Chains A and B, each alone.
Chain A
C-alpha cells in the first residue's frame, strides 16, 4: 500500500489528498492534515475522487471516424499523422484563423501552456480559449482593468480571522466546501456573515443578513450599498485619494442609485441596504466573496467592477483578511487563465497586442506570432455555424453540454470540417468528432494545478496510464512535432522551466520548490521568493486602482406573459459540471441520479404540482422534462435547474446573450415556462399524507 500526495481534481479549493495505491490500482483517498486549505477534511467529491479513474467507460485507444461505420480504433501514429495532416491542410487552404483550439481548466498548467503555444506558434492563430469564458471571464476582465490582476486577493487561511464576510452569488458550502468550512469557522469566532443571493443556499442558514435581490440586479444592489457608504461618510478617503483614480466620475454616476430606487429594482428593503453598507464599511477586516452569481450575466463585467469599486471605496483591500475574492470553479481554471489559454493574452496576462510581449514570445518560440486577438468559446461556435471556422481541436471540454443554447451548438458542430476531441471519457461532443484521442486522468500524470487562492501545487503520478491513454502534454508535443515544430521536454518540470522564464508571476515556480509546504502562491517572481499570500499590498498591481463607472442594465431576457419564470442554472453538491467524472462515481451518482427543477411552494401550488411530479420546462430555445423539487430555497417566480445532466440538459433552455466586453453568456437569467406533465385529474386528486415520522420505530 502506497500513498501519494496530489491535488483534488474537482473544484478550485485545491485540497491536498493522498491517493492510495495497491498493486498498481487506485484503491482510495484520504485527506492531508497539513494542507492549509483542507486541514484533514475533504468534501464528498474529494473523498470519492479515486473511483472514476478505472471506470469501464475510459477511452483506451485513439479512434478515427470512418464514414460508414462510425469511430474505429487505431494506433497513435495513425491518429496523430491524420490530425497533423488535416490541420495543416486546412490551415494552408483557409488560413490559420479557420482553426480553433479549446483548452481545458482540467488540464495542468504545463498542458495549458503547451496547448496555447501549439495554437499560437504551430497553427498560428490566437483562436484559443477554454471554459473560464463561461464562468469567470468577467473576473479576469473586470478585476484586471481595476487592479491589474484578476484573482483572489487573499488566502483561504485568512478567512477565519475576518470580521465581516460578504458573500454574493456563491453557494459556498456546496460548491467550494472547504472554503465554506473556513467561513463557518470565522462565524463561530464572531465574524458577521452577509449573504446576497436570490436563492437560499446552505451558507445563508448561517448568515446574519440574507439579501434576496431579484436575479440580475446585482449592479443596482451594490451601487445602492455604495450610495449609502458615500452618503454616510463611511468612505476611506485616504485610501481613495492615495491609491485610486477616477473617483469623481464614479461618484457622479453613483448619485443616480438612491436606495429608494434600488429598493424598487432589487426588491431589497432600504433598511437592509443601509445595514449592510454600515456593517461592511465600518469593520476593517472585511472580505468580499463572489462566484458565478455575479459573473454569469450579460452585465457580468459590470457586476465585477461594482464589487471592485466597493472594496476600493472602503479601502478593504491589500491587507490580510481584507480583499475581494472571486471563487474560481474548476481545479485549474486559475492556472489555465494564468497560462494564457485565452484569445488575447500569453501566459501571465501579457497581451498579444503588445509588441514587446509578442517579440519576447516570438524570440523564445522562434516563430512569427499572430497579432490580432482570437475568438472566444461562444464566438467560435458562432463562427463554426457561419462556416468561417473549419476545424476545432477540443481538449477536456464538452461544449455540447456546457455551452448555452445547445441546439445551436449542435448545428455548429455539424458544420465543422474537422473536429478533434481529446478527453478521458466519451462525451456528447464526440458524436461529431472525426478523431478521438484518449487522455490520462489526474492520477496518471504529473504537473501543477493553480487553485483559486493562486497556490501552484504539484500533482504526482500515482498509477500508470490506463489503456493506451497519454497525458495531454505528451499528445500535444507529439502532434506538434508531426507538424514540423519540435517540442522536446523530458518531463513537465522542463515545461515549467520555460513557463518560469517567460512569465513574471511564475518566475520562481520550479517543481522542486513546489514540493515543500503544498506549493507557492503567485506572484513569485524568482527562485528566492516565498510567494504572496495576499495581493495589492501598498500598491495595486497596475499602480493606481481605477474606479470604473457602471450603469444598471436589466437581464437580456425577462419573464413575460408567455414565459413567466426566471430560470437560473448552477451546480449541485454531489455533481460537478458536465458530470464526466462524478456521474461515473457510484456514491455520487446514487445520491443525485436525475435532473430536477427547484420551484417555490407557492408557485408549485398555483401550478398544481407536487414534489417529484414531472414537469416540462421550456424557453424560447428548447424544452426538457424534469421532476419538480418543491423548496423554499428558490424564491417565487424563479426556478433553478442544475446543468450536469445530458439527458435533461438545462443548457437547451439557456440564452446565449453575451456580456459585451468579455462575452460570457447569461446562464443565470432567462425566461421559461413550467407546465405539469400529468393530467389535471391526477394532479389534483387528494392524497393521504403519511408522516414518516409517525411510522418511525426508535
Chain B
C-alpha cells in the first residue's frame, strides 16, 4: 500500500475538520500569549510556528492525573479511558519518545491504562523546519524528521505538505479522503530533502550524549561535580514532569462519602519521599544522590536496558529548570571538562 502523498496547504483545514468528526482533535492553539495543546474548536487558532509546547504530549498517554478505578462497597469499576484522539502538530522528538514509552509500559507486564490510551491515539507529527535554540535531537537521531516510527509525518514544503503514513491505521486516514491528496512527484522528494538539510543546518546546540556517557563510565566525573549541580536544584520536579520520557508516578486514594477513587499522579524520583521505605528510611535523602541518579538513569541505565538514551533532546528541561541544570547544560559542562582534559 502506498504511504506517501502530497497535501496542498489549502486542503489541510478541510482534512482536520473531517478528522475532528471521527475523534477528538488536539492541536497547538494560541491562548493568552502562549501556545498549548488543547481540544480544537476553531481551526484558525492552530499555530504551528511554536516553540516546544509544555508539557510534552506524554500528557495524553500518561496524564498528570488519571483515575484507575472506583470502589463502592464491594463493587470495583475500572476506569479505562477509551476516548479516540488525534494529536496534531507534535514534534519528531516526541514521537521518538513514544517508542521508548511503549517499551517501558508494554513490554513484560502491560500497563492497561497506558495501553488503552495508546491504542486510541494517533499522532500527526510535523518535521521541524525551525528548531528551537534549546533543541538537540540532531545529535541523537530522534529528529528533526523521522525515517520510521511515526503515525503520520508532515513536512512543510511551503505551499504544500509532504505526507507520510507509518502504519496501516494511519494510511486509512489518508485514503478515506484521498481526493485531497496527490501523488508525490520528483520535485516533492527534492524539496523534502532540501527542508531536511536546511533544518539540520539551523541547530544551535550540538551535543553528543554518547561522549558524555563514556566520560561518566570512565569514572571521570567526580562527586563534587554532582554536588555543585544538585545544589542548584529547586526540587520543582519540572524536568521529570516535562520530559517526554520520564515515567514516575504515584498512586493515591480519595475516599468520598459515595465511594473511593484510586488515582495515579505524576511524581518524580527527584523527591526524597519517592523512595521512602518502611520505617521512614530515606535511601536518597541527600539531594546529590537523586540528581546523580536522574542523570545515570538517562545516560547509563537506559542505553544498557533499552538500547537508547533516556533523552530525545526536546529541550523542555532547558526551558523549565529554574536551577539551569538541565540535560543540555550539564552535557555541555561535562564536555567542556572533558575537552580541558580533566
Contact = CB atoms under 8 A, between A and B. Distances in A.
A3 interface: yes
Given A31-B320, A41-B238, A44-B236, 8 more contacts: A1-B39, A27-B63, A40-B54, A41-B319, A42-B320, A206-B232, A517-B33, A612-B280
Interface stretch (B89-97, B168-176, B251-259, B333-341): B251-259
B320 A41 contact: yes
A587 B265 contact: yes
B250 A590 contact: yes
B292 to A, nearest CB: 10
B38 to A, nearest CB: 5
Interface in B198-240: 231-232, 234-238
B314 interface: no
Interface string A501-525: 0000000000000011110000000
A34 B32 CA distance: 9
Interface string B258-301: 00000001110001110010001001000000000000100000
Contacts of B37: 1, 3
Given A33-B51, A55-B254, A20 B64 contact: yes
Given A2-B38, A517-B33, A698-B296, A177 B236 contact: yes
B324 interface: yes
Interface stretch (A130-138, A178-186, A318-326): A178-186
A43 B38 contact: no
A3 B265 contact: no
Give the 3 A-B residue pairs with the shortest CB-CB distance, closest first: A28-B64, A181-B322, A586-B252
Interface string A1-31: 1110100000000000010100000111111
Contacts of A516: 33
Given A56-B255, A181-B234, A188-B324, A32 B276 contact: no
A40 B324 contact: no
B236 A33 contact: no
B234 A180 contact: yes
Given A5-B32, A28-B65, A43-B236, A33 B319 contact: yes
Contact of A1 (B26, B32, B54): B26
Contacts of B322: 41, 43, 177-178, 180-181, 184
Contact of B271 (A29, A34, A54, A591): A591
A591 B234 CA distance: 14
A689 interface: no
15 contacts: A3-B38, A28-B63, A32-B32, A33-B51, A34-B33, A51-B265, A56-B254, A173-B234, A202-B231, A517-B33, A586-B252, A586-B265, A587-B271, A590-B250, A692-B283
Interface-central residue, A54, A517, A586, by most chain B CB under 10 Å: A586
A32 B234 CA distance: 18
B324 A205 contact: no
A178 to B, nearest CB: 7
Interface residues of B, number: 49
Contacts of A552: none
B280 A40 contact: no
Contacts of B312: none
A215 to B, nearest CB: 25
A47 B240 CA distance: 11
Contacts of B26: 1
Given A29-B64, A40-B54, A586-B265, A34 B34 contact: yes
Given A591-B272, A692-B283, A2 B39 contact: yes
B257 to A, nearest CB: 8
Given A20-B64, A518-B33, A586 B250 contact: yes
A593 B280 CA distance: 10
Interface string B111-144: 0000000000000000000000000000000000
B65 A56 contact: no
Given A44-B236, A612-B280, A587 B250 contact: yes
B34 A33 contact: yes
B36 A185 contact: no
Contact of B323 (A28, A50, A54, A184): A184
B1 interface: no
A516 B34 CA distance: 11
B305 interface: no
Nearest to A29: B64
A76 interface: no
A573 interface: yes
A81 to B, nearest CB: 27
Nearest to A39: B319
B31 interface: yes
B149 interface: no
Interface of B: 24, 26, 31-34, 36-39, 51, 54-55, 59-60, 63-66, 231-232, 234-238, 241, 250, 252, 254-257, 265-267, 271-273, 276, 280, 283, 296, 319-324
A1 B236 contact: no
A191 to B, nearest CB: 15
B340 to A, nearest CB: 20
A5 B321 contact: no
Contacts of A573: 235
Contacts of A1: 24, 26, 37-39, 60
Interface-central residue, A185, A587, A591, by most chain B CB under 10 Å: A587
A573 B321 CA distance: 16
A32 B254 CA distance: 29
Contacts of A181: 234, 322-323
A449 to B, nearest CB: 15
A185 B32 CA distance: 26
Interface-central residue, B51, B54, B234, by most chain A CB under 10 Å: B234
B194 to A, nearest CB: 30
A173 B233 CA distance: 10
Contact of B64 (A5, A27, A35, A593): A27
A590 B273 contact: yes
A40 B320 contact: yes
A515 B265 contact: no
A330 B321 CA distance: 23
A30 B36 contact: yes
Contacts of A2: 38-39
Interface-central residue, A18, A33, A35, A180, by most chain B CB under 10 Å: A33
Contact of B324 (A26, A30, A173, A185): A185
B136 to A, nearest CB: 17
A400 to B, nearest CB: 25
A5 B64 CA distance: 17
A173 B234 CA distance: 7
A540 to B, nearest CB: 33
Interface in A591-648: 591-593, 612
A160 B322 CA distance: 13
A43 B236 CA distance: 5
A43 B63 contact: no
Nearest to B296: A698
Interface string A202-219: 100110000000000000
A41 B276 CA distance: 26
Contact of B273 (A5, A20, A185, A591): A591
Nearest to A698: B296
Contacts of A515: 32
A185 B280 CA distance: 36
Interface string A112-141: 000000000000000000000000000000
A71 to B, nearest CB: 16
A26 B263 CA distance: 13
A611 to B, nearest CB: 10
Nearest to A182: B322
A573 B233 CA distance: 12
A41 B33 contact: no
Interface string A553-578: 00000000000000000000100000
Given A41-B320, A173-B234, A205-B231, A31 B54 contact: yes
B127 to A, nearest CB: 22
Interface-central residue, B36, B51, B66, B324, by most chain A CB under 10 Å: B36
Nearest to B29: A3
